[in-house]
Structure formats: structure tokens, C-alpha cells
Amino acid sequence: MRLLLILSIVLLIKLPVHTQIIIKNVTVVDVLNKKLLQGHDVLVQDGIITAVSTNIKTPKGTTIIDGTGKYVMPGLVDTHAHFFQSGSIYTRPDIIDLRKHKPYAEEIKWTHEQMENILRRYTYAGITSVVDVGTTLNFLKRRDSFRTKSFAPEIYMAGPLLTTFKSPVYAGLNDDDPFNEIKTIEEARDFIRQQLPFRPDFIKVGYILLGSDKDSAAKANYPLVAAAIDEAHKNNLRVSVHATQLVASQLAVEAGANHLVHGVDDKLIDESYIQLLKNRNVVVTPSLLVHSKYHIVFRHLYHATEDDIHYAHPAPLKTLMELKDLSDTTMVKNYFNLSERNSARVKTADSIRIVNLKRMLDGGVTIALGTDAGNIGSQHVSSYFHELAAIKNSGFDMWQLLQTATINGARAVGKDSEFGSVTKGKKANLILLQKNPLENISNWKSIEWVINKGVAQTPASIRNF
């Protein structure tokens, strides 16, 4: 009995368990100053970077990782994903209604059951932070259960999307409903208050404009969007806004939006727009590929890439090639119709988006990488590498690309003092690479260790799927 008591006292004194890791003699990829710091040591204690310099004395009981010839950089950030969506053809019944082939309830069940699998895939790929820009309350309720799990990335999550348009297919889903349609200013404020008990990391607003007169639609919806942003800010929550038209994007920023998902794709932006975004410290996540991937899938042209095969969950990926076998694929609606005219419009929008992205980059707007993963054709994890390549092709140099994928991701959620660079005091979300990430983007995949939540893991040990 006495022995038991002594033992439990000893155990109590030893709690909490301290973890210490040191990476010795490594090249630090300093994304803040755009520099490679050679021959450095990085000390990590209880998941926090506590020292970055040369010749750090190794404290007793520290796990030593030899970084000779290797590169340590911040873990990657995807600033635009949706866990309620699987990436399969059945995941957006509002866009293509295939519920008679697979009930939506099964899709909801699948996304929940496979969440750990998907999270492991992110961490495996070195993506240590994922921003879920709009989900269901049932997913938001699960976020904290992954907080201490070293196989899971850090998750920053908004609750259900407040939107100015919602399809009737989502009616009656209760806490599985990803959308709250706002029709009045009171509703805009109420929907946010209803999310507060579940502690969302930020609020997401969809500034959707229906009809051909976009200017009038934008003006009509403005009071709703402005009220939502105001209510979020009153509760110390940042706001991400989906706005693809110049008029909506500009009005959203004027109303106080902190983060824009999707670039403007209807008009070329000008200097005043760039200045507005810079003055308001707005972060933009362009998500260049999500729209064209829908079209590729719907035209039966999707082919799995090497990244898809390596990183994506095989089940939703497989469905992208199955669409042609279903009898009623004519149900693709609205702007996703497959007429030649519409295809041409998609191509034009894609080109406008790319030109606008380069203008924002050159103008000094903060750009963060984000995929919109979960949408049809945009698979979780593998889409990240597709988007990375697309952004690179829009004219980013390697340092700009590294910033877009790391520190700017942290800026998108207002947490750049907490993560996003290999800096003393920040969370040690780190990846150790065998090859120089400045040489090419495939070197970003040469991961030897993922250090996440205080634990050093090999990709193979995370890959429990």
C-alpha cells in the first residue's frame, strides 16, 4: 500500500510528460527572411520551438535527430478544405444530384468514419495545419478530439457556412447541415451566436450572387454580409468570405472580411483593389483549380495523378472515373453545365484568376495556399500538390511559394505569431526534408520526419491507412 502511494506520488510529480527533440546541424528554411541558415540546431520542448541557433547544448533526455545535409522547414498549411466533403461525385448533391445512386446520408457517414484516415494522410504529406472553411456542427464538435493526436494536423474550423443562397437538397439535415441561409440581418447575427457554444475558430460567409445582374445582387446582399462580419468581429472571430466577383469581393473587404477564399474571376482587378486588400491586411486563398476540376470530372476527363495515387483516399478518387457509368449524368446544373459556351467561360475565368493572382502577388497582397479540398474532383491532400504546381506556374518564385504554403497560411487564420516559421516560441510543426525545397517542389515531398505536437514521426509511422 505504502509502495503504491509512493509510486503514485512519483508518477504525479513526473506529470506532465516532457518531450524534448533536437535537430542537430541542419539547414533551417527561414521563410520570414527568405534565407537558408546552415549548421543550425533546433530545440523542441513540449511541442514548442525553444531555441534556433548554432551549437545548442543538448539537454538531458533529448531525442537527437541528425540534420546533417538536411533541411527543416515549417509544416505546410492548407487554408481551404472541407471535411464534410469527400471529394467524390456524391459529395455535392446541390451541384450534381446522384442521391438515387448513393443516399447523401451515406456520404455523411463516410466522411465521419474516414476522418482519421484523411487526417493521417495530411500529416503524412507534411501538411500539419488544415483550415476547414465551413463545415457542419457535427464536424465542429469533433475538432477538439483530435487536438492532442500527433497523427492529426492542427485543425482550424469554421462552423456551418452562412450563405446568401442555399440549395433545398440540404433541407432537414440539422447538425449535418453545412449551410445556414441568411435572409435577414437578425438571422445573420443569430446564426453566428448559435455557433459560439461550439467555439469555431472563425466564421465563414458565402457571398453568392445569383442572376445576371451581379452588381444589384451584390448590393442587395451586402447588409446581410456586413451584419455577419460585424457580429463575428464583436465576438473576436475573424471572417473568411467566399466571393468570386470583383464587386462582391470588394464589398466584403470594405465590410471587414479578413480572408478571401477564391480569387476574383469575372474582372481584372486594379491598383485600388490591391491597395484596399493591403490596407486591410486581407489574406487571399486563390484555390485556382477547384472549378476546373469539376468540369474535368463532369466531362469524364479526370485521370488520377501520381499525387492522387500516393496521397488521396482511394474510395472517393475512384468515383471520379465512375460518373460515365451512371445513367443520368445530365443533372449537372447551373454554372456547371457542360455546353461549349460554358466551357469557354470556365477557361476565361481561369485565365482571369491567374492574371489577378500575379497582380496581387506583385502588388504585395498576402497569398496563402488552399485547395478547397473535398469538392468534387479536389481530393484531400493530393490537391495540395496540384495547387502548389498551379500557383508556381502563375509566376511565384520558390521563396514566395514557401511563404504561401507556410507563414501566409498562419496569417490566414491570424495565428502567425503561433506557427508558420521555424522561430523560437512558435509551435514546432516542422518537416525535415532530405532535399533542398528551394530547388523544386517535388523536394517538398522528401520528408524524413514530421514533427507535430511535440512528437517526431516518420511518414511511414503515420501511414496507418
Rank residues 30 and 372 by Cβ distance to Zn ion and give the closer one.
372
Q: Which is nearer to Zn ion, 201 or 372 (CB)?
A: 372
Tell me the three cell numbers of residue 311: 496521397
Query: DSSP letters of 185-242?
Result: HHHHHHHHHHHGGG--SEEEEE----SS-HHHHHHHHHHHHHHHHHHHHHTT-EEEEE
Q: How far is the CB of 240 from Zn ion (least distance, A)?
A: 9
What's the Cα-to-Cα distance from 199 to each of 156, 179, 202, rounded to whole Å? 11, 17, 9
d(CA 244, CA 285): 11
Q: How far is the CB of 89 from Zn ion (least distance, A)?
A: 17
How far, in Å, CA of 148 to CA of 169, rounded? 36
CB 386 within 8 A of CB 296: no
Kindly tell me which of 206 and 437 has the beta carbon lying closer to Zn ion.
206
| Residue 35, strand partner residues | 30
The residue among 307 and 372 lying less far from Zn ion, judged by its C-beta, is: 372
Residue 27 or 163 having the CB closest to Zn ion: 163
Nearest-10 crossing angle of helices 340-363, 290-298: 160
CB 459, min distance to Zn ion, A: 27
Q: What is the DSSP string of 242-281?
A: E--SHHHHHHHHHTT-SEEES---SS---HHHHHHHHHTT
Cα gap 433→126, rounded to integer Å? 10
Amino acid identity, position 38: Q
Q: What is the largest CA-CA distance in the chain?
A: 83
The residues with which 81 forms a beta bridge, in sequence order, are 132, 373
Distance of closest approach, residue 134 Cβ to Zn ion, in angstroms = 6
Cβ closer to Zn ion: 372 or 387? 372
C-beta closer to Zn ion: residue 177 or 372: 372
Straight-line distance from the first to the last Cα atom of the chain, in angstroms, rounded to the nearest whole number: 44
Which residue's CB is nearer to Zn ion, number 372 or number 416? 372
Kindly state the smallest distance separating residue 253's Cβ from Zn ion, in Å: 18
H helical segments located in 364-422 = 382-393, 398-405, 407-412
Report the residue number, 154 or 372, with the smaller CB distance to Zn ion.
372
CA distance 62 to 64: 6
**Shortest CB 101 distance to Zn ion, Å:** 24
- 104/179 with CB nearer Zn ion: 179
Which CB sits closer to Zn ion, 74 or 374? 374
* β-bridge partners, 28: 37, 72
Closest contact distance (angstroms) between CB of 36 and Zn ion is: 34
Min dist CB 144 to Zn ion, Å, is 22
> Cell triple for residue 268?
481584372
Rounded least distance, CB 371 to Zn ion, Å: 9
Best CA proximity match to 336, nearest among 88, 97, 79, 83:
97
SS3 314: helix
Task: Kindly report the number of other CB atoms within 10 A of residue 295's CB atom.
Answer: 20
Question: Which of 122, 146, 143, 131 has its CA nearest to residue 383?
Answer: 122
Q: For residue 375, give the 3-state DSSP assignment.
A: strand
Mention every residue, 6+ apart, whose C-beta is less than 8 A from residue 344: none
What is the smallest separation between the CB atom of 423 and Zn ion, expressed in angstroms?
Answer: 29
- Grid cell, residue 58, equals 543538448
Q: Which is nearer to Zn ion, 182 or 432 (CB)?
A: 182
Distance CA 27, CA 273 (A): 38
We find the least distance from the C-beta atom of residue 397 to Zn ion, in angstroms, to be 27
CB-nearest residue to Zn ion: 372
Binding site for Zn ion (CB under 5 A): 372
Q: Least CB distance from residue 345 to Zn ion, whole Å?
A: 20
